[in-house]
Amino acid sequence: MRKYLLLIGLSFFVSSCAQRNKVEKKYQPFVQKKKIIKKERKTYVPSPIETDCDAEFYRKNIGNKARKDNTMSYGSIVTAKANGFQVVKTHFPAVSQDFRQKYVIVHYTALNNEKSIMVLTERGVSSHYLVNDLGDKEIYQLVDENKRAYHAGVGSWRKHKNFNDNSIGIEIVNDGYVLDENGKRVFSPFPRWQVRKVAQLLKDIVRRYEIPPTNILGHSDIAPTRKQDPGPEFPWKELYEKYNLGMWYNETDKYRFMNQMNAQEFFQKKDSPSFVFEFQSALKRFGYGIEPTGTWDEGNRKVVEAFQYHFRPQNYDGIVDIETWAILKALNKKYPAK
Ligand SMILES: [Zn+2]
């Protein structure tokens, strides 16, 4: 009997060990995962955090692309303080995050230097940067890049709308335009040194936030019915060719599209509802906030004019012509909307 009891006891012990082994096996991946996390925690060396006015800042970019970690930050407040608890920000940075700064919007102030500073710092409008007209080495920063500046207003480009929330605003001191005797807008040129300042500023911003060429725009691109800045004198082509900034079309594509029909044919069909619809759709596809209807209206003319300011500055009459059409097609080919 005792022997029998011993056997039962033994088998119970063995089976409970097996059970435990099973349990351990079952949870092994979890244990291993925990170990990996611990290992990463040990090897992850965070950038130093500085404290100022009781808020904590990273001064350096803390992103680590090798770890698919996009936790990049430039001097922003990075953590909350919970009284009695420890907010730990270095253990588990999430991959699913990105920059607020998706666009750069370029403006002119249409005011002199002094008035530009006054309006952009003391009124209800602002921009992150102001490029003066003094010919010196300075560029003024008016708003922290991580904070919102009020420069864009109501606008639209591809899927985006709230440009104060998702862009960096650059204002350039420039007189804007005057109307000539025929009511045509005549714009002020930008001095060479001012263009160089804007180019270097853009280059740095675009690099740090990985802003694509399609997202470097003029105010008139996102708000064509309200705005003309930075106007046709702003050298978008030069920025593209010399600094690899922003968009420009391929000349060969332009001529290929121009040769698909002659000017006479184009003139005959340019006001037909199907072609107007096609043109409006192409503008919308490229990014402009326009709804295809099949008929031209004043708002559409302003969109075409804004397009010409940016991509065909030699003639910005707002009238659809074969060259404007070919440039638009070439741009849609080179920069297809995703
Ligand atoms: Zn503007």
pLDDT per residue over 238-273, tens digit each?
999 999 999 999 999 999 999 998 888 898 999 999
Q: What is the pLDDT of residue 49?
A: 73
Of the listed 24, 40, 171, 181, which one is catalytic?
A: 171
DSSP 90: S
Average pLDDT, the chain: 84
Ligand 1 centroid – CA 23 distance (Å): 65
Whether the per-residue pLDDT at 337 is higher than 80: the answer is yes
pLDDT per residue over 57-115, tens digit each?
766 666 666 655 555 555 555 677 788 988 876 677 677 777 889 999 999 999 999 99
Q: What is the mean pLDDT of residues 172-199?
A: 96
Q: What is the pLDDT of residue 13?
A: 38
Kindly report whether the peptide bond that precedes residue 230 is cis, defined as omega within 30 degrees of 0.
Answer: yes
Rounded distance, CA 139 to CA 283, Å? 34
Rounded distance, CA 313 to CA 179, Å? 17
Whether the per-residue pLDDT at 30 is higher than 70: the answer is no
pLDDT per residue over 118-151, tens digit each?
999 999 999 999 999 998 999 999 998 888 999 9
Whether the per-residue pLDDT at 47 is higher than 90: the answer is no
171 catalytic, yes or no?
yes
Ligand 1 centroid – CA 13 distance (Å): 80
Q: What is the pLDDT of residue 46?
A: 60
* Residue 54: C-alpha distances to residues 28, 57, 148 (Å): 43, 10, 22
Ligand 1 centroid – CA 107 distance (Å): 4
Domain boundaries, the chain: 39-98, 103-243, 251-334
Q: What is the mean pLDDT of residues 31-50?
A: 53
Domain pair 103-243 / 251-334, same fold: no
DSSP 47: P
Rounded distance, CA 286 to CA 296, Å? 18
Among 3.30.300.30, 3.40.80.10, 3.40.640.10, 3.40.50.150, what is the CATH number of 103-243?
3.40.80.10
Among 1.10.101.10, 2.30.30.40, 3.40.50.10860, 3.30.70.100, what is the CATH number of 251-334?
1.10.101.10
Ligand 1 centroid – CA 227 distance (Å): 7
Rounded distance, CA 133 to CA 129, Å? 13
Q: What is the pLDDT of residue 63?
A: 61
Q: What is the pLDDT of residue 161?
A: 95
Ligand 1 centroid – CA 158 distance (Å): 19
pLDDT per residue over 302-330, tens digit each?
999 999 999 999 999 999 999 999 999 99
Q: Where are the beta strands (DSSP E) in 113-161?
A: 129-131, 140-141
pLDDT per residue over 74-87, tens digit each?
555 567 778 898 88
